[in-house]
Structure 1
Amino acid sequence: MYRISELASLVGLSRTALLYYEKLNLIKGKRLENGYRVYSDRDVQQIRLIQQLQSGGLTLAECKSCLESKLDKSVLRLRYDELDNEIKRKQKSLALLACLLGDKTSKPWHETLAEIAPDAHIDWLKVQGFDEKQALRVKWLSKDMNEHDKYMQDFMSVFETLEFWGPNSEDDTTKAFNWLNLNPMRILEVGCGKGNSTIVIAKLSNAEIVATDNEKLALEQLEDKIKSHGLDNRITTECVSMTELNFAKGAFDVIWAEASAYVMGVENALSKWKPLLKDGGLLVFSDLAWLTDKPSKESINHWKSDYPDIQTIETRKLQIAKAGYQLEHTFTVSEQAWKNYYEPLEERLHKVAAMMKNSQAIADIQNEVNLYKSHLGEFGYQFFIAKKL
C-alpha cells in the first residue's frame, strides 16, 4: 500500500493530480483509521497505463473512455493526424533553425521569402549585417546568406572577365533610342554595368548622361571606355544603389534601365523613378517576360526560383498604365543579344569549371545557359518605352 505522497513520487505526479484521478474514478484510494489515504499496486499500474495512453496524445477523458470500453479508432485516428501534423510542423521548425545556423542550405527559404515578402526579406538581411548591395545579391544570386561569400567569389570569377553581364546588343539599344519622341538633354542610366549601352546612347545623342551602378568594378571599366571615346564631358558615373537615387525631381528627360529594374522590382521601379522624370519624360527599360501563354515546366521551375516576378508582356503593360505612364512602344530583344551574352559565358564556364568543382555558382550559371539553349522563345527580354503622364 502507498500513501498519496509515496504514490506521487513513484509515478511523477502531484498530489493534486492524483486527487483529480480519483475524482474521475481512475484510481480508488482507501482511507485508513488514522485518516491516511492509501493506494494499491493496482492503482500504480492503472496510472502507468494512463500515462502510456497519454503519450499518444490522448486527453485524460479519452484515456478514461479507453479504459472503460473498446478503443474508439476514430478518436485514435484524430489524435494520430494531429500528432502527425505537429511533427511535420516541428520538422519544418527544425529545418529552418538548421538553415539559420548554417548547418544546411538556406536557399529554399530565401527563395520563398523573395517571392512572398521581397521588401521585408531585404530589410531583414540588412539587419543581419549585409549592406543593400550584398542583400540584393543574396536575394538574386547566392540565395544563401551562410554561403554567400564563397558563392559570390565563384560568381565574380566567372563574370569579371566578360564584356556582357546580361543579354545586350548595340542594335537593340539603338532601336529603343530611335523610338524616343524627344531630343533628350539629360539621361539617367540605372544599372549601367560596364557601359555597353551607355556609349551607344552617348553616340546617338548630345545628352548629358549620368550612369549609375552599385558595382564599382563595372564602373571602373566604363570610365576607361568613356576616356577612350572622348566622352568625359558628357558622361559621369555614380556608384549608388538604384533604390537610393537622390536626384532632384524632374531632373531627367529620360531614364534608361536595360535588364536592371528587376533588382528592385518592376512595379517598385515604375513608382520610385517616376518623380525623377520631367513631365512627358520617358522611362525606357527592358525586363524578362514570358513570350508564350504555355511555357514549359522546365522554364517555369527555373524562373520561379531565379526571377519569381517574371510576367507576360500584357501584365507589364497593365502595370505601366497603372503607374501613370503611357506606353509608347515595346519590342522583344533580339536573339543576337542573347548570343552576345551566353556564348562568351559558356566558353568562360568551360575554362573555369575544372578549377571550381562542386561550386554552386558554377552549377547555377550552367543551368541557366542550358535553359537558354533549349527553351529561348518561351521567354525573352522585352523593351518598354513609357511616357510619364
Structure 2
Amino acid sequence: MFLISGLAKRVGLSRTTLLYYEKLGVIRGQRLGNGYRVYTELDAQRLTLVMQLQAGGLSLKECITCLNGKIDKGILSERLRLLDEEIVQKQKARKLLSGLLGESSNRDFHAQLNELAPQAHYEWLLQQGFTEKEAQRIRWLSKDMNTHDQYMQDFLTVFEPLTRWGPGDDSDTLKAISHIPSKASNILEIGSGKGLSTCLLAEQSNAQITAIDNEPIAVTNLAELIESKGYAEQVTPMCASMSELPFKAHSFDAILAESCVYIMGFEEALKQWQTVLKVDGLIIVSDLVWLTSKPNEKYQSFWSTEYPAMTNVDTRLIQAKKLGFEVLDDFTISAKAWQNYWQPLQARLNTLKASMPESQAIKDIQTELDMYQSHDGSQFGYHFFVLRRNAL
C-alpha cells in the first residue's frame, strides 16, 4: 500500500496530478480510519499503463477509454497517422537546421524559398552577408549557401572557355534588334556575356553601346573581343548589376537583354529598366516560356524548381501591356539557337567529368542539358519580346 506521497515517488508524478487522475477514475484510493488515503500496487501499475499509452500519442481521455475497455483500433490508427506526419515534419526541421549549420546540403530549402518567397529569400541572403551577385547566384545556380564558392568555381571552369553562355543564334538576335531605329544614339545591353550580341549591335548601329555583365571574366573577354573587332570606341564594357543600373533616367534609346531577365523576374525587370529608357524607347528581352498549355510532367517538374515564375507567351504579353509597353514583335528562338548552346557545352562537360566526378555544378548542368536534348521544341523555349515604352 502507498500513501499519496509514496505513489507520487513511485510513478514520478506530482500529488496534484495524482488527485486529478483519481478524480477521473484512473486510480481508486481507500481512506483509512486515521483519515489518510492509500493506494495499491494495481493503482501504480494502472498509472504506468496510462503513461505508456500517452507516450504513444493518445490523449488522456483516449488512454482512459483503452484502460477501461477494449482497444479502439480506429483511434490507434489515427494517432499513428498523425505521428507519422509529425515525424516527417521533424525530419524536415532537422534537415533544415542541419543545412543552416553547414552540416548538410540546404538546396531544397533555397529552392522552396525561391519559389514561394523569392524577394524575401533574396533579401535574407543579403542579410547573411552575401553580395548581390552571390545572392542571385545562390538563388539560380548553386542553391546552397554552404557550398556556393566551390560550386561557382566549378561552374566557371565549365563555362569560361565557351563562346556562348546561353541559347542564341545571330539570325534570331538580328531579327530582334532590327526594330531598333537607325537614329538610336545610345543602347544598353544587359547580361552581355562574352559579347556576341554586342558585336551584332555594333555592326548594325552607329549608336554608342554600353554592355554590362556582373561576371568580371565575361567583361574582360568582351573588352578583348571589341578591341580585336575594332569597336573599342563604340562599345563600353562595364561590370555592373542589372538590378541596380548605374545610369541616369532616360539615358538609352534601346535595351537588349537576352536570356537573363529571369534573374530579376520579367515584370520587375521591365519596371526597373524602363526608368533608364527614353519615351518610345525599346526593351528587347528573351525569356524562357511554355509553348504549350499542357506541358509534359517531366519538364514541368524540372522547371518548377529551376524557374518557378516560368509561364506562357500570352501571360508575358499581358504583363508587358499592363506596364505600359506596346508589343512590336514576339517570336520563339530557333532550334539552331539551342544547338549553338548545348552542343559545345556537352562536349565541354564530357572532357571534365572524369576529373570532376563529384562536382554538383557539372551534375546540374548535365541535368539541364538532358532536358534541352530530350524535348522536341514544342514544350518550352526562349521567346523574344520587342517592347516599346509608351509615354507615361
TM-score, reference length from structure 2 = 0.94
CA drift of 1:250 comes to 1.3
After the TM superposition, which of the residue ranges 348-357 and 94-103 deviates more from structure 2?
Answer: 94-103
Gaps of 5+ in 1: none
Within a 5 Å distance, the mapping from 1:219-298 to structure 2 comes to 219-298=219-298
Give yes or no for contact 1:191–1:212 (8 Å, CA) kept in 2: yes
CA drift of 1:115 comes to 1.3
- Aligned partner of residue 354 in structure 1, secondary structure: coil
CA drift of 1:74 comes to 3.4
In structure 2, how many angstroms separate the alpha carbons of the residues matched to 1:107 and 1:138?
9
Q: CA RMSD in A?
A: 1.8
2:334 pairs with 1:338: no
CA drift of 1:95 comes to 2.3
In structure 1, how many angstroms separate the alpha carbons of the residues matched to 2:301 and 2:100?
25
Give yes or no for contact 1:289–1:310 (8 Å, CA) kept in 2: yes
Deviations 1:250-276 (A, max 9, x none): 111111101111111111101111111
Partner of 2:48: 48
Partner of 1:382: 383
Within a 5 Å distance, the mapping from 1:10-29 to structure 2 comes to 10-29=10-29
Give yes or no for contact 1:169–1:340 (8 Å, CA) kept in 2: yes
Deviations 1:222-266 (A, max 9, x none): 111222233232222221111111322211111110111111111
The code of the aligned residue for 1:304 comes to S
In structure 1, how many angstroms separate the alpha carbons of the residues matched to 2:71 and 2:339?
70
Give yes or no for contact 1:28–1:43 (8 Å, CA) kept in 2: yes
In structure 1, how many angstroms separate the alpha carbons of the residues matched to 2:74 and 2:350?
61
In structure 2, how many angstroms separate the alpha carbons of the residues matched to 1:49 and 1:368?
56
2:81 pairs with 1:74: no
Give yes or no for contact 2:182–2:205 (8 Å, CA) kept in 1: no
In structure 1, how many angstroms separate the alpha carbons of the residues matched to 2:207 and 2:369?
36
The code of the aligned residue for 1:382 comes to H
TM-score, reference length from structure 1 = 0.95
Give yes or no for contact 2:240–2:246 (8 Å, CA) kept in 1: no
- Aligned partner of residue 311 in structure 1, secondary structure: coil
Partner of 1:189: 189
Gaps of 5+ in 2: none
Deviations 1:198-230 (A, max 9, x none): 111012111111111110110011111222233
In structure 2, how many angstroms separate the alpha carbons of the residues matched to 1:301 and 1:105?
21
2:315 pairs with 1:319: no
Partner of 1:136: 136
- Aligned partner of residue 123 in structure 1, secondary structure: helix
Partner of 1:176: 176
Partner of 1:354: 354
In structure 2, how many angstroms separate the alpha carbons of the residues matched to 1:61 and 1:298?
48
In structure 1, how many angstroms separate the alpha carbons of the residues matched to 2:64 and 2:297?
54
In structure 2, how many angstroms separate the alpha carbons of the residues matched to 1:366 and 1:42?
67
Deviations 1:39-62 (A, max 9, x none): 221211111111122122222222
In structure 2, how many angstroms separate the alpha carbons of the residues matched to 1:356 and 1:296?
32
2:156 pairs with 1:156: yes
Deviations 1:302-346 (A, max 9, x none): 222222222211111111111110100012212222222222212
The code of the aligned residue for 2:381 comes to G
- Aligned partner of residue 354 in structure 2, secondary structure: helix
Partner of 2:218: 218
The code of the aligned residue for 2:110 comes to H
